Amino acid sequence: MHDLFPAIVYLLCFLTSSACAWMLGRSYRRSQARLLLWSSLCFFFLAANNLVLVVDLLVIPGNDLRLGRLLFALAAVATLLFGFIWDLEKER
């Protein structure tokens, strides 16, 4: 049970971020609000980050995929930041 708990948490984090990305993407298609698009892409990258975490720590524990996880996290934050700046520039 002690080794099972982290696996459950990692998988739940992946499922949660995937569900958020899907729901935000679905809402963007309906409303065409650009903030929903950037948020959906951010959560997509966060879900990819969590998937790499699951693969890194549970499936192939001998490999170090920390760089991949950091790149996906950076892509998530950069996408959301770019979206905020892009939409702010379009309003002016």
Q: Write out the two tokens for 38.
A: 């950037």
Please write the tens of the pLDDT for every residue from 28-76.
999 999 999 999 999 999 999 999 999 998 888 888 899 999 999 999 9
pLDDT of residue 92: 59
Considering only residues 27 and 89, tell me which one the structure prediction assigns the higher pLDDT: 27
Tell me, what's the pLDDT at 3? 79
Using the predicted structure, report yes or no on whether residue 89 has a pLDDT greater than 70.
Answer: no
Q: 3-state class of 2 per DSSP? A: coil
Neighbouring C-alpha atoms within 13 Å toward the C-beta of 9: 7
Record the pTM.
0.89
